[in-house]
Structure 1
């Protein structure tokens, strides 16, 4: 038995090099290049944030055309569907600093002024997203505080009447939002507010019948914190 085992071992040792020589050479393939994962940005979820910017009254306005500083807060909900489309709703409230001008002076010396201190809106949003960017349009209901219309002559306030307070109106706008980190996005936005017009129905004779537009053009930059109801920013391999 011992001799048989030794003989077998010797035979294997002798035949192995010849057998190995008959085998084909082993081929090597280059490892595939590393591909970084593709980020997937999910806009679905609730968000809150703040904004700052400027407001500019339209032509033929009691507030003149000078700009005013504004700042405020916003909050809303977005839902992403069909891969690249986003629909949502947003509520926004802003404060406006100071009066935009000295008012309008009529030929006989009567001065009329107007000032809006606060603006609010509840709007729908609809947009298209690619990568971390979202381009959107918005529109809906707008509200403002008492427009603070005043009439004076020679520096003394005088009585007057108008056709209403014009506190309710509509708003439309558009913007670009960018998700720069998980749960955080920044935006720039233009928003137009229209509250109709104010007509003087009583007061000094030279102002009766005068009609002025009640609108605002605003440009804002904002920052939002997103709660990620639909999941955080992920990676696609």
Structure 2
């Protein structure tokens, strides 16, 4: 009996480590850490300047030629939801060539002067990281488009309809925050002031209808007040 008890104890001692070796430990993998996403804060006032070019349609007193422009802009943006941005912007531009002329048969020359453009627009855009793509539209203004008609260098009387100072504008662009408080943008903007029709003057000019519009391409830089750096979306 004693021998049986000793033998059973020895067998149990040998079998226990073997059984333990057959049990595979199970580990639970920790969830991967997700880095917080940085959302840049566009809310606040800004001012800045821009440079670019303006191009009229062929059916205009500018005849489709390009002109250099430069100006200033200012506005306010509000960011919400959280990647959408809406705002209001005022913009004013000066054009370098303010007098243009079109020659008609019989020696009649029609000149026009338009050297300033302005706009007040709303804009809405979508931002990801430091970039913002946007569309804009609203009220447009230009300086008085003074028109003159001459024959052989001598001014002659004429009359027109249209020749509006006020109109509308639409555009789109891309803006990028490249440093705290600073952003740069590139945008296209179209200005439309209707049409001008000559109702009196030299016979070759009467009945002529010209389009009053401008296409512009601009690059600009703005300083943003109160910019606090990226907002972390946890």
TM-score (norm 1): 0.80
Which of 180, 201, 204 in structure 1 is aligned with 2:202?
A: 204
- Other-structure match for 2:168: 170
Structure 2: gaps of 5 or more residues: 1-31
SS for the counterpart of 1:62 is coil
- Other-structure match for 1:93: 92
Question: Structure 1 137/169 Cα, relative in aligned 2: closer, same or farther at 3 Å?
Answer: same
Distance 1:109 1:153 in 2: 6
Distance 1:175 1:198 in 2: 30
Aligned structure 1 segments of 4 or more residues deviating by more than 6 angstroms = 33-37
- Other-structure match for 1:117: 115
Q: Is the 8 A contact 2:57 2:214 kept in 1?
A: yes
**Structure 1 residue 104: Cα displacement:** 1.5
Which residues in structure 2 correspond to 1:125-140 (within 5 Å)?
125-140=123-138
- Other-structure match for 1:232: 229
Q: Is the 8 A contact 2:162 2:194 kept in 1?
A: no
Distance 2:111 2:71 in 1: 24
Q: Deviations over 1:88-121 (max 9, x none)?
A: 11000010101474x2211111111213110000
Q: Is the 8 A contact 1:182 1:233 kept in 2?
A: no
- Other-structure match for 2:71: 72
- Other-structure match for 2:154: 156
Q: Is the 8 A contact 2:123 2:134 kept in 1?
A: yes
**Structure 1 residue 40: Cα displacement:** 2.8
- Other-structure match for 1:39: 38
Distance 2:52 2:37 in 1: 34
Distance 2:104 2:132 in 1: 47
Distance 2:204 2:64 in 1: 22
Of the structure 1 ranges 106-115 and 45-54, higher mean CA displacement relative to structure 2 is found in: 106-115
Q: Deviations over 1:12-37 (max 9, x none)?
A: xxxxxxxxxxxxxxxxxxxxx99987
Distance 1:58 1:128 in 2: 31
Distance 2:233 2:80 in 1: 17
**Structure 1 residue 77: Cα displacement:** 0.6
**Structure 1 residue 63: Cα displacement:** 1.3
Distance 1:142 1:204 in 2: 32
Aligned residues: 204
Q: Is the 8 A contact 1:63 1:115 kept in 2?
A: no
Question: Structure 1 174/46 Cα, relative in aligned 2: closer, same or farther at 3 Å?
Answer: same
SS for the counterpart of 1:108 is helix
